[in-house]
Amino acid sequence: MFSINQLVFKDIINVRKLEIESGKIYCLFGESGSGKSTLLKMFNSMLTPDQGKITYKDESIADLDPIQLRREVVMLGQDPIVFEGTVRDNLLIGLQFAAKEVVANQVLTELLKELHLAKDLDEEADKLSGGEQQRLAFGRVLLMDAEVYLMDEPTSALDENTETVIMDLFTKKVRNAGKTAIMVTHSKGIAEKYSDEIIYMTDILMKEGTLS
């Protein structure tokens, strides 16, 4: 799915080689400042490396249209983006960006139930709490039915019980659909419980000047 070779970004990222296979859930795990989020953003061209190459489906990301790439490789950040408008508007805007067919209200209502988000579709999204907005963002990206989900601390605004519900739901849907996910987390518990493979930043990062 992804292949990294001789990747350098400022003094943050220095990775000789890394392979990400399709159909798996990965977790980038490491201390704060270890480059987890920086690396994650390179998988859909939100950041561009200074040196090296990332390929997606055997094509260099540098050669791909970033908009089309982000329709397939969807990012959910730790600070959920809430767009102007209703809960319905916020759920559907991802489908519109991905140029996919809009789904019926019944589908949206069922998804809100799965997310334990007891809100009306016509409620203004900016009235939701931080945790509710994060669950709404989860719903938006799940509806996009992406090839790859990039998740940066996706449960940072959720309490422990809600975190379990949402992560159980998300990982079940990803696995059932045979999709790929790459998550950033500081929680060893989340990494061990939900990922197929943990990528320790201390294992893949090399000291400055060691790349050949």
Residue 209 belongs to a domain: no
Of the pLDDT bands very low, low, confident and very high (cuts 50, 70, 90), residue 211 is very low
Residue 210 belongs to a domain: no
The conformation of residue 10, written as its DSSP 8-state character, comes to T
In this predicted structure, the answer to whether residue 176 has a pLDDT above a threshold of 50 is yes
Residue 14 belongs to a domain: yes
For the chain, give the mean pLDDT: 93
Residue 12 belongs to a domain: yes
The whole-number average pLDDT for the span 157-181 is: 95
- What sections of the chain are H helices per DSSP? 36-42, 66-72, 87-97, 105-114, 130-143, 160-176, 188-194, 201-204
Residue 130 belongs to a domain: yes
CB atoms within 10 A of CB 93: 17
Domain at 195, CATH number:
3.40.50.300
Residue 211 belongs to a domain: no
The predicted pLDDT at position 208 comes to: 43
Q: Quick check: 59 and 135 in contact, CB under 8 A?
A: no
Domain count, the chain: 1
The 10s digit of each residue's pLDDT in 23-69 is 999 999 988 889 999 999 999 999 999 999 999 999 999 999 999 99
In this predicted structure, the answer to whether residue 88 has a pLDDT above a threshold of 60 is yes
**CA 196/CA 176 separation, integer angstroms:** 14
The whole-number average pLDDT for the span 62-89 is: 94
**CA 182/CA 199 separation, integer angstroms:** 10
Residue 67 belongs to a domain: yes
The predicted pLDDT at position 32 comes to: 86
Of the pLDDT bands very low, low, confident and very high (cuts 50, 70, 90), residue 212 is very low
Of the pLDDT bands very low, low, confident and very high (cuts 50, 70, 90), residue 210 is very low
Of the pLDDT bands very low, low, confident and very high (cuts 50, 70, 90), residue 195 is very high
**CA 33/CA 56 separation, integer angstroms:** 26
For residue 57, give its domain range. Answer: 2-204
**CA 52/CA 2 separation, integer angstroms:** 13
